A and B are shown apart, each in its own frame.
Chain A
Amino acid sequence: MSKLIMNRRGLLKSGAAVGAGVALPTIFTASSAAAYTNEPTGGAVTLGFNVPQTGPYADEGADELRAYMLAVKHLNGEGDGGMMNTFSSKALQGNGILGKKVEYVTGDTQTKSDAARASAQSMIQKDGAVMITGGSSSGVAIAVQGLCQEAGIIFMAGLTHSNDTTGKDKKANGFRHFFNGYMSGAALAPVLADMYGTDRAAYHLTADYTWGWTQQESIQAATEAKGWSTVANVLTPLTATDFSSYVAPVLNSGADVLVLNHYGGNMVNSLTSAVQFGLRDKMVNGKNFEIVVPLYSRLMARGAGENVKGIFGSTNWHWSLQDEGSKAFVKSFGEEYGFPPSQAAHTTYCQTLLYADACERAGTFNPCGVGEALEGFDFDGLGNGPTHYRAEDHQCFKDVLVVRGKENPTSEFDLLEVVQVTPRAQVEYAVDHPMFAGGALGACNPGS
């Protein structure tokens, strides 16, 4: 720990302000003179890590922040280099980005779009951040993405699963590595059909807001294509904490599968209720009743405890993967912090590396140049197999994991087992797919 602190201190020393100033001084330069917003002029470049530090997603935000700090270390040539060694692009030298030392500022999104934008604004206007990344919900991601577009800053989305982030709300300055609701559906449906048969009747409980709707739509379409029927889709209030009154009627509805389109605290509570009601012990239509949670997060799954056992879902990445990239990352992260990284940590680490690499390849921090370097970029070695950053909507296409709650976990981190790695080809879709239609990428904005 002491070594780490020394490093971190050394890293920050150059920009330290002691005395009345509360935070780092700005390296903001006269905006009229710069070619683009916050062009770094000194020997350092500042990245903005905007994650939830208060509110229900604070633990995920903390894990993202750990990954960011690890990525900064690796970029600056400290530590073991992590996935930089397995990354297919070799542009990164371990000497910062474009020879400039990487510094960072952090902020609290509070998982509120307003607070997230205020925090991002302060990073842009006060701290001179040239890239913003992070977030743990789609509402926040889309809000901050919009802000970055207007300010002329690159936004590397963190944990955001809504189709809209790279669908109708896509922006030229925004990029998403994480997968989305459509991909979850496309990856899950075949596995579900294999495991549970093709003549299933599904009952959906759906969080009543944009993410829930797109998620539900995706899963319904994908499962119906496999022959399932949909008995009902009941919307549940965002603020609900007790789902018993929604779960209670399920068993008598003729459905034999319950799909919980919930995330975070909602997911934990609805899954707990569903298991409490004994749904999984029942037989309906001559079949065993099953529960599906389309989007899994290991951190949140811990909150549901033993209730996740045997329940299918999808995830972007899992630490038990055995490819070289994943192993390198888990080792690096595990040695630094003492426990394996979450998928939120993985995606944010990747995004930081991808951004830095794009800057190197483009030879500039100019958002337009960086964007160009990222668009259509093919890479490998970051834990998800061969991956493609699509130019038309700035969405990454890669393999998706179908996971199941483990029956006999060996440790508190060992909650999920990977059932199948759904190949990329199976989850790809056209840019103008109706679930993603309605937005325009626009032109890249370099700011002032």
Chain B
Amino acid sequence: MKLMNDRTLLIIFAAFVLAAPLIFAPTGAAYPDLLQRFAIYGIFAIGFNILFGLTGYLSFGHAAFLGVGSYASVWMFKLLTMNIIPALILAVVMAGLFSLIIGYVSLRRSGIYFSILTLAFAQMSYNLAYSVLTPLTNGETGLQLRLDDPRYLDGASVEGTLPSTNLFGLEMKEVFWNPNILGYDLQFNYGYYVCAVLLIASFYIAMRIFRSPFGLMLRAVKTNQNRLRYTGINTRPYTLTAFVISGMFAGLAGGLLATMDPLAGAERMQWTVGGEVVLMVVLGGMGTLIGPILGAVFIKYFENIFSKINEGVLHSWFAIMPEWLDNTLVAIVSPFVGKGWHLTLGALFMIVVIFLPGGLVDGAKRIGGWITGANRRKAKAEAE
């Protein structure tokens, strides 16, 4: 039944993540910013999956924790130091506290009532962050570093330039190795590897939670909360813990976003961002270990690569064809790429939900099953 044991899975996963700048090169996604986003939203989705995938509680409010994490770390950069460690710690702690409060209130209800409560909290946070809380969040513009920030722990920086976020001197944005392999220019930077290590750690934590008694209880909450209560389990603290854990993952992701790019915008708190993580988890396969990360990569790839395919790029693709065919093809394809990427994403998403309720992981399994099944049939046929 099981294809591989956990240790093998973890090792393969880690190897894949660490080699991502090479692996993604042919897809056009192997530049630091996007790779970092893959990893960061992967962490966000992993955390969300612990709540949604295990307990079945559908929260639309996790964007709020992403935002809180970002604001917390930018404030750390502004006030204390450009070292990322305090910023990330504060991001996780603040998001944890925030999710404790929101979770405590929202988890008094379940089903769609819970969803709407979390959505209400996220929208309130967004509205307030955008306007009323501007002294704290810098509103529309987003919280940014400024030349006159105090940064009490760091010494004076070079006049007129902003310092970079760093890990004990290793600058996040620095590309430390820039080889040319197989015709691809590869960029290895510190920022991505910080994200990668944290992604692997998050994956490991999620794996442990999945296999633990705690995880078993969460899965039990999803299938039959009533039975669980009559089995002597107090379900509320379990769901609350799951909520807070996923909130802390979101906070870590938010903190990392700010670490890789020191800006925290209010849009990060909007419910649509919370909806996006739902899409990631469902698209990848909810309740599976690897699914949320696949979903995150898929959606971010779409957002960043598909949206950049303009008519000029399309013409260059079809350049070898006769002109009338070139123009026809461009006319057919262009509504679905570039400015139409939302349309394609929406359609793909529908297709996945309709035909692959288990997400991409489910799809991969089916293909795998189909291939092995075909092999078996073939073997059988040969035997006869």
Contacts A53-B338, A122-B304 hold; do A210 and B147 have CB atoms under 8 A apart? no
Q: How far is the CA of A15 from the CA of B306 in the complex (A)?
A: 18
Q: Write out the residue numbers on chain A whose beta carbons fall within 8 Å of the beta carbon of B194.
A: none
* Least Cβ–Cβ distance between A19 and chain B, in angstroms: 9
Partner of B33, one of A112, A125, A211: A125
Report how far A147 CA is from B164 CA in the complex, Å: 12
A239 at the interface (CB under 8 A from B): yes
Q: Which residues of B from 313 to 330 have beta carbons under 8 Å from A? A: 313, 315-317, 319-320, 323, 326-327
Q: A211-B140, A439-B146 are in contact. Are A139 and B316 (CB under 8 A)?
A: no
> Closest residue to B158 on the A side, CB-wise?
A443
> Closest residue to A236 on the B side, CB-wise?
B131
Q: Is A16 an interface residue (CB 8 A)?
A: yes
**B308→A147 contact, CB < 8 A:** no
Residues of B within 8 A of A21 (CB): 26-28
Contact of B261 among A32, A117, A209, A443 (CB under 8 A): A117
Contact A8–B304 (Cβ < 8 Å):
no
- CB pair A164–B187 under 8 Å, yes or no, is no
- Distance in Å: Cβ of A295 to nearest Cβ of chain B: 15
Given contacts A54-B341, A114-B265, A146-B263, is CB(A24)–CB(B313) below 8 Å? yes
Given A119-B304, A146-B263, A235-B131: A139 touches B141 (CB 8 Å cut-off): yes
Please tell me if A28 contacts chain B, counting CB pairs below 8 Å: yes
- Is B134 among interface residues, defined by CB-CB distance under 8 A? yes
Q: Is B220 an interface residue (CB 8 A)?
A: no
Cβ-defined contact, A126 with B34, below 8 A = yes
| A53–B339 CA distance with the chains assembled, in angstroms | 5
Task: Tell me, rounded to whole Å, the shortest Cβ–Cβ distance linking A251 to chain B.
Answer: 26
The answer to whether A20 touches B134, judged by C-beta atoms less than 8 angstroms apart, is: no
CB distance from B192 to the nearest CB of A (A): 11
- Interface residues of B, CB < 8 Å — how many? 63
Of chain A, the residue at the smallest CB distance from B147 is A440
Contact indicator B161/A443 (Cβ below 8 Å): yes
Kindly identify, within residues 265 to 320 of chain B, every residue whose CB is under 8 Å from any CB belonging to chain A: 265, 267-268, 303-313, 315-317, 319-320
Interface membership of B53, Cβ < 8 A:
no
A209 contacts B315, C-beta separation under 8 Å: no
Chain B residues whose C-beta falls within 8 Å of the C-beta of A142 in the assembled complex = 141-142, 144
Cα-based distance from A15 to B305 in the complex (angstroms): 17
Q: Complex Cα distance A445/B163, Å?
A: 12
Contact with B along A1-31 (1 / 0, CB 8 A): 0100110110111011110111110101111
Q: How near does chain A come to B326, taking the closest CB pair, in angstroms?
A: 8
| From B141, B162, B309, contact of A442 by CB (8 A) | B162
Q: In which size bucket is the chain A interface?
A: 35 or more
Say if the beta carbon of B62 comes within 8 Å of chain A: no
Q: Contacts of A211 on B, CB cut-off 8 Å?
A: 140
Expressed in whole angstroms, the Cα–Cα distance for A17 and B134 within the complex equals 45
A118/B303 contact (C-beta < 8 A), A53-B339, A62-B339 known: yes
Given A121-B33, A235-B131, A238-B127, A143-B319 contact (CB < 8 Å):
no
B42 contacts A by Cβ under 8 Å:
no
Interface residues of B in 324-370 (CB under 8 A from A): 326-327, 338-339, 341-342
Question: Which positions 117-136 of chain B face chain A at CB distance < 8 Å?
Answer: 123, 127, 130-132, 134
Query: Measured between alpha carbons, how far is A239 from B127 in the docked complex, in Å?
Result: 8
In angstroms, Cα B316 to Cα A18, docked, is 8
* Binary contact track A151-191/B, C-beta < 8 Å → 1, others 0: 10000000000101000010010000000000000000000
Query: Could you tell me if A11 and B160 are in contact, using CB atoms closer than 8 angstroms?
Result: no
Inter-chain CA distance A32–B319, complex, in Å, is: 35
The residue that B309 contacts in the complex, of A23, A143, A162, A237, with Cβ under 8 A, is A23
Given contacts A54-B341, A122-B305, A210-B139, 9 further A-B pairs with CB under 8 A are A5-B323, A12-B313, A12-B315, A104-B312, A113-B141, A117-B263, A119-B308, A210-B138, A442-B162
User: What are 29 inter-chain pairs, A to B, with CB distance below 8 A?
Assistant: A2-B327, A5-B315, A8-B312, A9-B319, A13-B316, A15-B316, A16-B319, A18-B317, A20-B27, A21-B27, A21-B28, A23-B309, A62-B339, A106-B308, A113-B263, A114-B257, A122-B31, A122-B304, A137-B140, A139-B140, A142-B141, A146-B144, A146-B263, A150-B162, A150-B164, A211-B140, A442-B147, A443-B159, A443-B160
Q: Chain B interface (Cβ within 8 Å of chain A)?
A: 26-28, 31-34, 37, 123, 127, 130-132, 134, 138-142, 144-148, 159-162, 164, 173, 175, 178, 185, 187, 257, 261, 263, 265, 267-268, 303-313, 315-317, 319-320, 323, 326-327, 338-339, 341-342
Pairs of residues from A and B, 10 with the lowest C-beta to C-beta distance, nearest first: A443-B160, A121-B33, A53-B339, A16-B316, A113-B265, A126-B31, A125-B31, A139-B140, A208-B131, A108-B307
